Chain A
Amino acid sequence: MRLYEWEAKQLLAERGVPVPQHRLVRNAKDASVGADDWDAAIVKAQVLHGGRMKAGLIEMTDGSDAVALAAKRLLACSDRDGAPVEALLVEQRLPVKQERFLGALYDPRARMPVLVYTPHGGIDVEDADASAIARVELDPRQPVPEFRIRAALRRAGVASRDLRAITAIAVTVARTLLELDATLVEVNPLAEVEGRGWVALDAHVELDGDALSRHRTLVERFGLAERGDGGRAPTAAEQAAKEVDALDHRGVAGRLVEFDGDIALIIGGGGASLTVFDAIRDAGGRPSNYCEVGGNPSVLKVKAFTQLLLEQLRPARIAVIMNVVSNTRADLVARGVIEACLATGRDPAETIAVYRVPGAWEDEARELLADYGIDALGREVGIDAASRRAVEVAAAGVAA
Chain B
Amino acid sequence: MTPLLHSGTRLLVQGITGREAANFTRECLDYGTRVVAGVTPGKGGERVYGVRVFDTVEEAVAATQPDAALLSVPPLGVLDAALEAIDAGIPLLVVITERIPRRDVAAMLAAARAADVRVIGPNSLGAIVPGACKLGSIGGPAEDVRRAYSPGRVGVASRSGGMTTEIASMLTGAGIGQSACISVGGDTLIGTTLLDAYRLFLDDDATDAVVTFSEPGGSQEDELADFLEAQGGPPKPLVCFVAGRFVDEMPGTRFGHAGTMVEAGGSTARAKIERLSRAGARVLERLDDLPAAVAAAAGSTREEVA
Contact = CB atoms under 8 A, between A and B. Distances in A.
Interface of A: 49, 105-109, 111-113, 139-141, 178, 181, 183-184, 208, 210-211, 213-214, 229-231, 255, 257, 268-275, 277-279, 281-282, 290, 292, 294, 322-327, 358-360, 379-380, 382-385
Nearest to B113: A111
Contact of B288 (A268, A281, A327, A382): A382
Contacts of B190: 111
Nearest to B254: A229
Given A108-B189, A274-B247, A379-B169, A327 B253 contact: no
Given A211-B102, A325-B162, A385-B288, A270 B256 contact: yes
Nearest to B159: A271
Interface string B97-112: 0011111111101110
B213 A271 contact: yes
A360 B142 CA distance: 11
B244 A379 contact: no
Given A274-B260, A323-B166, A360 B188 contact: no
A214 to B, nearest CB: 7
Contacts of A382: 170, 287-288
Interface residues of B, number: 64
B287 A327 contact: no
B254 A140 contact: no
Contact of A111 (B110, B169, B215, B254): B110
Contact of B106 (A112, A255, A257, A277): A112
B32 to A, nearest CB: 17
A309 to B, nearest CB: 17
A1 to B, nearest CB: 12
A278 B189 contact: no
A385 B173 CA distance: 15
Contact of B166 (A113, A281, A292, A324): A324
A111 B113 CA distance: 10
Given A211-B101, A269-B161, A327-B140, A113 B106 contact: yes
6 contacts: A111-B110, A271-B160, A277-B244, A278-B243, A323-B165, A326-B141
Contact of B163 (A140, A255, A275): A275
B75 A210 contact: yes
A275 B244 CA distance: 6
A277 to B, nearest CB: 5
Nearest to A140: B107
A379 B109 contact: no
A213 to B, nearest CB: 7
A326 B165 contact: yes
Contacts of B105: 111
A269 B241 CA distance: 16
Given A257-B253, A270-B256, A324-B166, A380 B159 contact: no
Nearest to B213: A271
Q: Which of A109, A210, A360, A385 has the most CB of B within 10 A?
A: A210
Q: What 8 A-B pairs have minimum CB-CB distances, sorted nearest first?
A: A271-B160, A326-B140, A270-B256, A211-B101, A274-B244, A323-B166, A274-B243, A271-B163
Interface in B137-170: 137-141, 144-145, 148, 158-163, 165-166, 169-170
Interface string B214-251: 01101110010000000000000000010111110000
A383 B218 CA distance: 25
Contact of B246 (A49, A268, A281, A385): A281
Given A181-B101, A271-B243, A275-B287, 15 more contacts: A105-B264, A109-B219, A111-B113, A111-B191, A113-B103, A210-B75, A257-B253, A272-B162, A272-B166, A274-B215, A274-B256, A290-B246, A294-B162, A326-B162, A380-B173
B126 to A, nearest CB: 11
A326 B106 contact: no
Nearest to A49: B252
A326 B144 contact: yes
Contacts of A324: 148, 162, 165-166, 169
A210 B140 contact: no
Given A281-B246, A384-B288, A273 B102 contact: no
Contact of A140 (B99, B110, B253): B110
B271 to A, nearest CB: 15
Given A178-B103, A270-B160, A279-B287, A359 B253 contact: no
Contact of A383 (B100, B113, B145, B287): B287
A108 B253 CA distance: 19
B49 interface: no
